[in-house]
């Protein structure tokens, strides 16, 4: 036991040999545990690979090295259960898609309509949402729902019909919307003595130029917890320690970042900026769903990896899952300002450091980021 604790401590201190020893000892048992939950060897392998990435990122946060075993298996269990739920949800989404758009074919120009489903669900009343969830996402029949709710089967059918009608209307509306959240002068070109400064799209369906966990993302791959939405959107989902995609150069200084951001559930939707290469220090715009506020925070880590946080500005702001917000962050020298739907929200003066990348992050949440653009001002 003492030897095991020492190995964990060495791994926490960055010892590669100790980390390899932990992987060699626990990889097969973790794989078996994941396969029991998922029933599929490939899904289990993917799960355990994802867990080891989480271990690399958060091993330093384990306060009691003697509990590594339980900590690891809890992580395996939670990740595997989440993957099983995601798999079941995808199958349920397909059944709902067939009921909403029975005329849809592979050549249908609306083939990417279903990513809007999580947002559209928020437009349902509590009663309609409940029966829709029971029927499509929990597999209950109309008769079973009627018995559970103690209502006639016809009432359940009526609520499902009404829910599908609203969902279809909301999905089509979302697909056809033309950035109605943006003021007319949003993203105008800056003209000055040194020429014109245009907005540049930094995501158009390809993650070229983006990085994850300190490494460039390989073409054709997606980091764990991320998926591509349509032609210009990214969905991040993480329920453990947060997950970040980065873009840009450590030398980036004065810039403006703009994007459309939709919280889809859970904790915080976050945007990082002036982030160093090893994620030891950065600023973060934090959409605090539980607190109904938008904050600017400064994050640093000490020599042993402990996080230090300074709240620079917190503004009460009504936030709602399923609502899309137009967000702009402008950083120039000591000045940091943020705008939501064209209106000023945060104003900060802080000159701790002036350079760094940008990043998209979710913290125990699910978030959609769309139409991501940046322009360098210096």
Alpha-carbon distances of 7 from 1, 22, 75, rounded to whole Å = 10, 8, 19
Q: How is the chain split into domains, by residue range?
A: 2-87, 114-176, 190-376
| Cα of 6 vs its chain's centroid, Å | 35
Higher pLDDT, 131 or 336: 336
Select the CATH number that applies to the domain covering 114-176 from these four: 1.10.3300.10, 1.10.540.10, 3.40.50.2300, 1.10.10.10.
1.10.10.10
Interval 200-210 mean pLDDT: 90
Write down the pLDDT at residue 345: 94
Interval 83-93 mean pLDDT: 57
Interval 116-137 mean pLDDT: 76
Alpha-carbon distances of 8 from 20, 58, 67, 74, 212, rounded to whole Å = 11, 12, 10, 17, 25
308 contact partners, CB below 8 Å, separation of at least 6: 299, 300, 301, 302
Picking from 233, 235, 232, the residue whose alpha carbon sits closest to that of residue 224 is 235
Mean pLDDT of all residues belonging to the chain? 82
What's the pLDDT band for 107 if we cut at 50, 70, 90? Answer: very low
pTM recorded for the entire structure: 0.61
Interval 69-79 mean pLDDT: 83
What's the pLDDT band for 247 if we cut at 50, 70, 90? Answer: very high
Interval 354-372 mean pLDDT: 90
Taking 60 as the threshold, does the pLDDT of residue 239 lie above it?
Answer: yes
Select the CATH number that applies to the domain covering 190-376 from these four: 3.40.50.720, 3.40.50.970, 2.60.120.560, 1.10.645.10.
2.60.120.560
* 226 and 234 Cβ atoms separated by less than 8 Å: yes
Write down the pLDDT at residue 71: 87
Taking 70 as the threshold, does the pLDDT of residue 39 lie above it?
Answer: yes
**Worst-scoring range by mean pLDDT, 185-194, 251-260, 309-318?**
185-194
Residue pointed to by tokens 């060897």: 41
Interval 303-329 mean pLDDT: 86
Tokens of 123: 């437009």
Q: Which CATH class is domain 2-87?
A: mainly alpha
Interval 180-185 mean pLDDT: 56
What's the pLDDT band for 125 if we cut at 50, 70, 90? Answer: confident
What's the pLDDT band for 336 if we cut at 50, 70, 90? Answer: very high
Q: pLDDT tens-digit profile of 277-300?
A: 877 899 999 999 888 999 999 998
Share of the chain above pLDDT 90, in %: 25
Backbone angles phi, psi at 238, to 5 degrees: -155, 135
Determine the Cα angle at 80 with ends 242 and 239, to 5°.
20
Higher pLDDT, 124 or 310: 310
Write down the pLDDT at residue 273: 95
Which range is most confident: 37-41, 230-234, 341-345?
341-345
Picking from 153, 171, 172, the residue whose alpha carbon sits closest to that of residue 161 is 153
Higher pLDDT, 138 or 298: 298
Write down the pLDDT at residue 109: 44
């Amino acid at each position: 036991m003492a030897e095991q604790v020492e190995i964990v401590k060495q791994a926490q201190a960055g010892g590669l040999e100790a980390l390899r020893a932990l992987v060699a000892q626990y990889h097969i048992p973790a794989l078996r545990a994941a396969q029991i939950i998922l029933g599929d060897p490939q899904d289990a392998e993917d799960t355990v690979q994802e867990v080891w990435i989480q271990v690399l990122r958060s091993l330093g946060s384990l306060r009691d090295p003697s509990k590594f075993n339980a900590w690891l298996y809890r992580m395996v269990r939670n990740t595997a259960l989440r993957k099983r739920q995601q798999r079941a949800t995808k199958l349920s989404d397909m059944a709902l898609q067939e009921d909403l758009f029975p005329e849809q074919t592979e050549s249908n120009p609306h083939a990417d309509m279903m990513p809007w489903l999580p947002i559209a669900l928020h437009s349902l009343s509590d009663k309609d949402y409940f029966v829709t969830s029971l029927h499509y996402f929990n597999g209950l029949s109309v008769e079973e729902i009627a018995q559970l709710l103690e209502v006639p089967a016809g009432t359940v059918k009526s609520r499902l019909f009404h829910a599908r009608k609203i969902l279809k209307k909301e999905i089509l509306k979302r697909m056809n919307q033309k950035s109605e959240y943006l003021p007319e002068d949003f993203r105008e070109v800056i003209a000055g003595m040194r020429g014109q400064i245009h907005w540049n799209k930094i995501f158009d369906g390809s993650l070229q130029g983006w990085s994850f966990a300190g490494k460039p993302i390989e073409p054709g791959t997606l980091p764990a917890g991320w998926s591509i939405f349509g032609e210009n959107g990214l969905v991040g989902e993480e329920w453990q320690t947060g997950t970040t995609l980065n873009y840009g150069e450590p030398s980036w200084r004065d810039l403006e970042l703009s994007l459309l951001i939709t919280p889809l559930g859970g904790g915080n939707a976050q945007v990082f900026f002036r982030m160093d290469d090893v994620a030891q220090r950065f600023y973060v715009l934090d959409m605090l769903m539980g607190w109904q506020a938008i904050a600017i925070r400064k994050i640093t880590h000490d020599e042993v990896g402990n996080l230090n946080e300074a709240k620079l500005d917190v503004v009460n702001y009504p936030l709602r899952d399923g609502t899309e917000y137009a967000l702009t962050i402008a950083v120039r020298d000591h000045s940091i300002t943020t705008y939501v739907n064209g209106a000023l929200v945060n104003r900060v003066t802080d000159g701790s450091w002036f350079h760094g990348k940008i990043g998209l992050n979710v913290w125990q949440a699910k978030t959609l980021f769309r139409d991501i653009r940046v322009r360098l001002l210096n």
